[in-house]
Structure 1
């Protein structure tokens, strides 16, 4: 990084590319004071800001690698910026400052990607993205009926920018990355042609900048910065993780699926802890130990499955219901976050209340990792679990570390991931036990071995359906999250919206070309078609699991590459074809490693699809064997069971890919 004075201010450049240009007329920095209003309702947030002051810091003094800024000459310094090799470090002389803005040089044809796990828009250019972990919303489209109804009923409709996993990091098509080191509410605004504006509701500790000659190198740098995941467990390659929450009948249904040819690596039973029934549907009993009434002899069943090559997975989140035995244990030990009166803070999770385990209290974090996850899950025989609800930290609780909950809220998913990872490591099972999370923030990559895309609607909708998990995988993957997957068939069924056999089959087709295949019955299983209820769906699913298993040697190679270099399994086309700018805006197809291109069918009643093949390679259509030259858009037939998939004709795995035609 280089700081240069100019006749009217200063310029900061990275590898010769201007990042900041400051003049008195066009200042790069603004500071001020604001008064926010935040209201949380079951993980959804209503947020407003009243900006009391926004002052342009027009006057700058450069002294070596330090810039001091104020509004006008002779006035007190308000912000100090110090350059290091990779960052701008900030200190505010005025303690009243709680708003910060920085303008980054932009070009009219620039593309930007990242922002954590974005569901609606992969290329963020032209839009404003608040970065705050929350429920992503139902529908996520203000023009849709389901979003409107969800907003009216529970403030749960969401918008295009709502996400479980935000992260204040982006990659520019100029081959640099910018990361804001803060846990405060922040905003990336990419709506202006000549600048990007970074906003934070606190002065950031620093803003990190990284540059590389290629996008691949840049992703490697970011994955080294934020953390890399271990290779996938060996057992995962045996097939799909089957999600059932049907008590002991889950084992019977699993056997019937296996008899139908389904390749199985795991049985995932969320309801291993028991159920409670609410107006939303059947909910889990939030006390994290086996419910022997719903699953008699579960420990023995788990052992039997293991002997058959099938692992058992469960569910956990960082909250404890008031009517469960673990609540009393945690409360007596003082492990819960407090309210303003010093009492255990209780949160309404939809017709039941819970305490918030305070992970800023090291004793509470250790207890949850060792006694709950370690003692009641891993020692019981579980090989994995969904680690849910990291985005739910209330903003009005008192925490043991004394930090404002508004500043801890974004950081909470990373603390939650760390607790899970610590539990796994304590039993020597890192790389063997597999937990998966939907919530995240900066640093979650270091601890969480697998992301999942959250709670999509059970439909083909543009902002909350199948296509959104592609965007999610690509955006998160650029920031060091190598492994991503989703609920096959979606999860949320509300207001009469139910999934069709077609949706379930199309989702399974995509999942066969992702790191992990995992099914889910959804929030209302009886209202929605299940894999084992329809003979056509079951046969189709069995074939897709066979395809997944057939691709295992290739996936193992990608997993090894992810552990060594941090490259994601699902990759945007431009990652390996950066010379082809036609790839920069594509978000509904992806590279599976460097050798396979997958373009899932994500719209209903579609029997063919146009696919852009990147320039520079010859591509072979998996199902027909026909070859196509890159740099062209081709249309291929896509009946059920033959999603548009292509491979590089010169791939060392070409023989294995060609064998897919025989499966």
Structure 2
């Protein structure tokens, strides 16, 4: 980075690309003070800010690599930026400052991607994105009835920007990336033609800039910065992970599905800990050890499954229910976060209370990793689990490290991932045991081997249905998260919204072309169609698992590539076609590796789909064998069982791709 003096101010360039321009008439930096209001209700937040002061620091004095800012010439300096390599270190000289606004140079036709895992809009240009880990919300569209009902009944409707996994990092089509090193609430505002405004509710440690010769180069740099996952476990390639929560009957249901031709790599029973029944639906018993009443002789059955080539997976989160045996153990050791009176803080999760294990206490983190995950799960025989609820740290608790919970809230998913990864590593099972998370923040990449898209509604809706997990995979993948998957058929069923056979089948078609296939029975299993309850759905699902297994040699190569380069398995079209700007805003299709283009059917009742094919290649339609020249939009038939998929003519795995239709 280089500081350049210009009339009335300065600019900062990164390898010749201007990223900051400051003059007295058009300042790049504003500082001030705000008084926030944050209300949390079961993972959902109402957030507002009363801005007491927002002052442009129009006057800047450049001395070497140091820039001092003040409101006007002759007034004391209030803020300092120091250029250090590719970083801008920041320091507030005025202790009252708790709000910072920075304007980054932009171009009118620029595209911007990232922001963590964004579910509604892949290209963030033209919109404003608060970055705060939370429940994503039900419906996520304020104009819809389901979102309205969710807001009225549980403050849980959400909006387009709500996400389990925010991250203050973006990639620009100008071929640079920006990361803000902070855990505070922040906002990325991309609505202006001439600048992007970054708002931070604290003084950030620094701003990091990355410059690349290509988008692939940038993705590799970000992966190096945030951490890189190991390759997928070998057992994953054997088929789908079946999500069943039916007690010991889950084993019999799995066998019937295998007899119907379903390829199975794992059986995931999140109810391995037992159930409690609430008005929301069947909930798990939040005490992380096998429930012998619901799963008799589970340890022996896990060993028998392993012998038959099927792994067993469970569920865990960082809370312990007050009526479980682990709670008094952790409470006696002082391992829970505290309330204002210094007592164990209890969190209402809807008809039951829990304590949150304080991972800022190293002893508590070690205890959970060893005694809960290590002994109760890994030593018991589990090969993986859902590591849930990383976004739920209450903002009013007192933590062992004495840091304000509002500043630890965004950091919590990364701490939670680290606890899980530490447990796995302690048993020498990194790259073998597979846990998956929906919550994330900066640095989660170094610990979490697999993301999942969260709790989509069981429908085709634009902001909460099948299509949103494509956007989530693409946005998070650019920031170093190589592997992404979702609940086949969706999860959230409320207000009479239930699955259709078509939805399950279309979701399974997409999942066959993702790193991991995994089903879920949802929050109301008895109200919703399950894969094994409909002969047509079951046969379709079996065929999709066969396609997934057929593509395993290719997926292994992509996994190796991810480990060595940081490239995600699911990629935006522009990643390999950066000179084709027609690809920059596409978010309902993706490249599976470099050589397969997948355009899932994500709307109900569709029997054909329009697909844009990138320039510079010949693309062959898998089902018909028809070749198409890139740079055009084609319409292809898309009956159930034939999702629009194309392979790149001349690809190394061309023979494998040609035989997909026979799998």
| Aligned counterpart, 2:45 | 45
Partner of 2:583: 583
Q: In 2, Cα distance between the equivalents of 1:607 and 1:167?
A: 37
Cα distance per residue 1:337-390 (max 9 Å; x no partner): 000000000001111000010000000000000000001000000000000000
Q: Distance in 2 between matches of 1:153 and 1:95?
A: 41
Q: Does 1:226 align with 2:217?
A: no
Q: So what's the TM-score if we normalise by structure 1? A: 1.00
Structure 1 residue ranges, 4+ long, deviating more than 2 angstroms after superposition: none
Q: Distance in 1 between matches of 2:127 and 2:152?
A: 25
| In the alignment, structure 1 residue 567 sits paired with structure 2 residue 567 | yes
Structure 2 counterpart of 1:399: 399
> Aligned partners of 1:534, 1:15: CA distance in 2, in Å?
59
Aligned to 2:544: 544
Query: In 2, Cα distance between the equivalents of 1:141 and 1:423?
Result: 39
How far 1:75 moved relative to its partner?
A: 1.1
Q: Deviations over 1:136-186 (max 9, x none)?
A: 000000000000000000000000000000000000000000000000000
- Structure 1: where are the runs of 5+ without partners? none
Partner residue of 1:642? Answer: 642
Q: Which residue is 2:535 aligned to?
A: 535
State the alpha-carbon separation in 2 of the partners of residues 86 and 328 from structure 1: 49
Could you report, residue by residue, the CA deviation over 1:23-54 in whole angstroms, capped at 9, with x for unpaired residues? 00100000000000000000000000000000
Measured in 2, the distance between the counterparts of 1:78 and 1:554 equals 55
Q: Which residue of 2 aligns with 1:122?
A: 122
- Offset from partner CA, 1:74-122 (integer Å, 9 cap, x none): 1111100000111100010011100000000111000000000000000
Q: How many residues align?
A: 663
How far is the alpha carbon of 1:7 from its aligned partner?
A: 1.8
Give, in angstroms, the shift of residue 625 of structure 1. Answer: 0.7
| Secondary structure of the corresponding residue to residue 499 of structure 2 | coil
Hey, what's the Cα distance between the residues in 1 that align with 2:612 and 2:84?
42
1:426 & 1:85 partners in 2: Cα distance? 37
TM-score, normalised to structure 2's length?
A: 1.00
Per-residue deviation, 1:533: 0.2
Task: State the alpha-carbon separation in 1 of the partners of residues 607 and 263 from structure 2.
Answer: 27
Distance in 1 separating the partners of 2:160 and 2:13 = 32
Other structure's SS at 2:659 match: helix
Give the aligned CA root-mean-square deviation in angstroms. 0.4
CA distance in 2, matches of 1:15, 1:43: 42
Match of 1:213 in 2: 213
Q: Look up the match of 1:626.
A: 626
Q: Hey, what does 2:607 align to over in structure 1?
A: 607
Q: Secondary structure at the match of 1:276?
A: strand
Matches within 5 A, 1:645-656: 645-656=645-656
Other-structure match for 1:414: 414
SS at match of 2:49: strand
Which residue is 2:464 aligned to?
464
Match of 1:110 in 2: 110
Question: How far does residue 501 in structure 1 lie from its aligned partner after superposition?
Answer: 0.2
For 1:420-569, list aligned pairs within 5 A: 420-569=420-569
Residues 1:328 and 2:316 aligned together: no
Aligned to 2:163: 163
Give the Cα–Cα distance (whole angstroms) in 1 for the partners of residues 79 and 205 of structure 2.
12
Listed one character per residue, the Cα deviations across residues 250-300 of structure 1 (whole Å, up to 9, x for unaligned) are: 000000000000000000000000000000000000000000000000000
Partner-residue secondary structure (3-state), 1:661: helix
Secondary structure of the 1:542 match is: helix
Instruction: Please state whether the residue corresponding to 2:647 is helix, strand or coil.
Output: strand
Q: What do residues 546-572 of structure 1 show as CA deviations (whole Å, max 9, x unaligned)?
A: 000000000000000000000000000
1:189 and 2:189 are equivalent in the alignment: yes
2:225 match: secondary structure = helix
- In 2, distance between residues paired with 1:529 and 1:645? 27
| Distance in 2 between residues matched to 1:661 and 1:256, nearest whole Å | 25
Unaligned runs of 5+ in 2: none
Asked if 1:30 corresponds to 2:65, the answer is no
- Give the 3-state SS of the residue equivalent to 2:152 in structure 1: helix
C-alpha distance in 2 between matches for 1:90 and 1:463: 37
Counterpart mapping for 1:593-604 below 5 A: 593-604=593-604
State the 1:399 CA deviation.
0.2
Separation of aligned partners in 1, 2:26 and 2:330: 54
Corresponding residue of 1:252: 252
